[in-house]
């Protein structure tokens, strides 16, 4: 839980009276009591900015803006997920390496080496898989990363707020991996990285469109400003501003040039989805890098405590995004808990199988950001150890749910879609790759209601049928489909549910 407060006072640090506005009510209380009250409820105060104001008195008055942060007793830290988008060679992985490792790049990509997962990524310098990196902030707003030889466990123990970066691929060859990361990992925000020397090129517009289609709030980072002249950087910034102001985008660009701008940008960005902060920085010289850290430190979560409580009251539903085999541990699955609460020793069912059934299993242990965790709550990402459960029975796109839940498994579903682009016209019988949450499977378009074909920009309700196996879907879930240059978005509006079988526990 985080909040911004304005505290007018006579003289900062004197302990004299001031007005504290909390929850719409104001009261005259000693400013020195703010620290005392925060300590009593287990919160921490960070001064963001301070201004001297004019007043009809000889003694000067100041107004101070503070950030009060309190980590709930049932949580280890506040957690935000930020998806990193951008064209290939725009400097995404290098920027994440500098932020999380605490050392500037040498100009040849040294900072990104710790982020790569495969040999061919190191050799080519291009990300082809999804990787996760963490950046922590302690209660005073100071950065907690690997710069002091900390382990991931130590970072989690020290930090009161954690930023989990989801590093996605920029090359068009790996577009399906990027879409899967955006749809399945439920990022709170997206960071679109644009190289200052190339501007909007390659997959930049496509990634921008994906973020807008999935309604993920995004901000922009212009990298490699040390390689360009000031005129080139300004030309790239003007190009970005024109793109953001176009009718299909309708965003208000906000250029961050000072720490005061970074504080304002974080507040406005969380309150208004149309505001788009823009940072111009360098991973080599470190120019404006601190402004991005200030922004990330202040950026509040999108979901409030009331919405979080409502999700936690539901039955547990865990989306399976990754599957591993760990020596001496057994089968491990990674993903996000969409709703409910999951504990160690919890008995769940996983599916659907190829026949549409669900299999029983037991959660042996839980880890968040590589540190042990006994309880997992709605909205949190984690890995679950399943012990001796047969890995061959699992696949990406499955869900682990409570045995009490009646999961909606279907082969056929209908969706209300908008065809974003097609070279000619989209007809019945065409096969497309459908992305719905963590589900990614080929489906055939069986029927278009009221029409024989669809052209670019047209809307319709269509019926899809999965090719390989049934999937777990819910009405209202966002949908994205593609095939070559063909792209479309929409949402699931009806399901043809099939009977499910749940194995005994």
Question: What are the boundaries of each domain within the chain?
Answer: 2-69, 78-302, 307-401, 409-498
Alpha carbon 30 to chain centroid, angstroms: 39
- Report pLDDT for 446: 95
Record the pTM.
0.86
316 neighbors 348 (Cβ within 8 angstroms): yes
- Report pLDDT for 22: 39
Mean pLDDT of 101-111: 86
Assign 71 a pLDDT band (cuts: 50, 70, 90). low
Fold of domain 2-69? Gtp Cyclohydrolase I Feedback Regulatory Protein; Chain: K (3.30.1410)
Q: Six-digit token pair at 294?
A: 């200030």
Assign 15 a pLDDT band (cuts: 50, 70, 90). very low
Q: Give the Å distances, CA to CA, from 72 to 161, 381, 452.
A: 11, 17, 55
**Better pLDDT: 121 or 254:** 254
137 neighbors 144 (Cβ within 8 angstroms): yes
- Report pLDDT for 55: 66
Cis status of the peptide bond prior to 24, with omega within 30 of 0:
no
Measured CA to CA, the distance from residue 502 to residue 20 in angstroms comes to: 56
Position of tokens 């696949």?
Answer: 395
Q: Are strands 371-372 and 218-223 parallel, antiparallel or unpaired?
A: unpaired
Assign 410 a pLDDT band (cuts: 50, 70, 90). very high
**Better pLDDT: 42 or 7:** 42
398 neighbors 352 (Cβ within 8 angstroms): yes
Secondary-structure class of domain 78-302 per CATH: alpha beta
Tens of pLDDT, residues 259-279: 999 999 998 898 887 899 999
**Better pLDDT: 275 or 17:** 275
Most confident of 43-57, 102-116, 396-410: 396-410
- Which range, of 111-115, 374-378, 408-412, 495-499, averages the lowest pLDDT? 111-115
Most confident of 109-113, 147-151, 481-485: 481-485
Gyration radius from the chain CA atoms = 24
Assign 399 a pLDDT band (cuts: 50, 70, 90). very high
- Report pLDDT for 185: 87
Tens of pLDDT, residues 286-325: 999 999 999 999 998 877 667 778 888 999 999 999 999 9
Map 294-337 to HEC letters. Answer: HHHHHCCCCCCHHHHHHHHCCCCEEEEEEEEEECCCEEEEEEEE
Whether the predicted pLDDT of 115 surpasses 70: yes
Cα diameter, the chain: 81
Assign 147 a pLDDT band (cuts: 50, 70, 90). confident
Percent of all residues in the chain with a pLDDT value above 70, rounded to a whole number: 87
Percent of all residues in the chain with a pLDDT value above 90, rounded to a whole number: 55
Mean pLDDT of 205-214: 92
Whether the predicted pLDDT of 345 surpasses 70: yes
Whether the predicted pLDDT of 355 surpasses 70: yes
Mean of the per-residue pLDDT values for the chain?
85
Domain 409-498, second-level architecture: Beta Barrel (2.40)
Tens of pLDDT, residues 458-505: 999 999 999 999 999 999 999 999 998 889 999 999 999 887 766 544
Whether the predicted pLDDT of 449 surpasses 50: yes
**Better pLDDT: 21 or 147:** 147
Mean pLDDT of 412-437: 93
- Report pLDDT for 224: 95
Q: Among candidates 440, 415, 426, 413, which has minimal Cα distance to 485?
A: 426
- Report pLDDT for 481: 94
Domain 307-401, second-level architecture: Beta Barrel (2.40)
307-401 against 409-498: fold identical: yes
Mean pLDDT of 130-139: 88
Assign 113 a pLDDT band (cuts: 50, 70, 90). confident
Mean pLDDT of 51-61: 70
Q: Among candidates 320, 316, 258, 312, which has minimal Cα distance to 290?
A: 258
Mean pLDDT of 132-137: 90
């Amino acid at each position: 839980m985080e909040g911004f407060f304005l505290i007018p006072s006579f003289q900062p640090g004197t302990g004299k009276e001031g007005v504290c506005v909390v929850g719409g009510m104001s009261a005259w209380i000693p400013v020195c009591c703010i620290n005392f009250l925060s300590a009593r409820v287990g919160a921490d105060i960070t001064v963001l900015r301070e201004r001297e104001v004019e007043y009809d008195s000889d003694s000067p008055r100041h107004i101070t803006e503070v950030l009060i942060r309190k980590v709930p007793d049932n949580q280890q830290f506040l957690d935000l997920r930020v998806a990193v988008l951008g064209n290939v060679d725009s400097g995404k992985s290098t920027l994440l390496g500098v932020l999380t490792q605490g050392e500037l790049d040498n100009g040849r990509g040294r900072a990104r080496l710790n982020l790569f997962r495969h040999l061919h990524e190191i050799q080519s310098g291009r990300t082809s898989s999804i990787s996760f990196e963490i950046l922590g902030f302690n209660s005073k707003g100071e950065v907690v990363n690997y710069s002091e030889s900390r382990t991931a466990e130590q970072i989690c123990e020290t930090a009161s707020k954690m930023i989990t970066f989801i590093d996605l691929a920029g090359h068009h060859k790996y577009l399906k991996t990027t879409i899967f990361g955006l749809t399945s990992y439920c990022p709170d925000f997206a960071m679109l990285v644009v190289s200052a020397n190339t501007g909007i090129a390659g997959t930049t517009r496509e990634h921008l469109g994906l973020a807008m289609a999935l309604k993920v709030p995004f901000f922009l980072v212009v990298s490699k400003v040390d390689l360009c002249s000031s005129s080139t950087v300004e030309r790239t910034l003007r190009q970005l501003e024109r793109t953001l102001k176009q009718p299909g985008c309708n965003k208000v660009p906000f250029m961050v040039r000072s720490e005061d701008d970074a504080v304002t940008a974080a507040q406005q960005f969380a309150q208004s989805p149309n505001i788009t902060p823009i940072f111009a920085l360098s991973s080599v010289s470190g120019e404006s890098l601190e402004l991005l850290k200030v922004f990330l430190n202040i950026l509040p979560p999108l979901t409030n405590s009331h919405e979080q409580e409502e999700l936690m009251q539901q039955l547990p539903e865990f989306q399976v995004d990754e599957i591993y085999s760990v020596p001496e541990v057994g089968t491990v699955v990674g993903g996000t808990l969409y709703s409910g609460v999951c504990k160690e020793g919890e008995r769940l069912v996983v599916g659907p199988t190829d026949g549409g059934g669900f299999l029983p299993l037991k959660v042996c242990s839980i880890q968040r950001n590589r540190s042990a965790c006994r309880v997992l709550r709605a909205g949190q990402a984690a890995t679950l150890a399943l012990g001796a459960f047969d890995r061959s029975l699992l696949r990406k796109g499955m869900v682990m749910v409570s045995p009490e839940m009646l999961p909606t498994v279907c082969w056929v579903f209908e969706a209300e879609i908008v065809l974003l682009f097609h070279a000619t016209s989209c007809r019945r019988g065409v096969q497309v790759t459908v992305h719905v949450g963590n589900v990614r499977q080929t489906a055939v378009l069986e029927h278009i209601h009221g029409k024989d074909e669809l052209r670019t920009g047209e809307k319709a309700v269509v019926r899809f049928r999965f090719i390989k196996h049934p999937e777990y879907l819910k009405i209202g879930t966002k949908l994205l489909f593609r095939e070559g240059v063909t792209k479309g978005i929409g949402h699931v509006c009806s399901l043809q549910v099939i009977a499910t079988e749940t194995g005994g526990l």
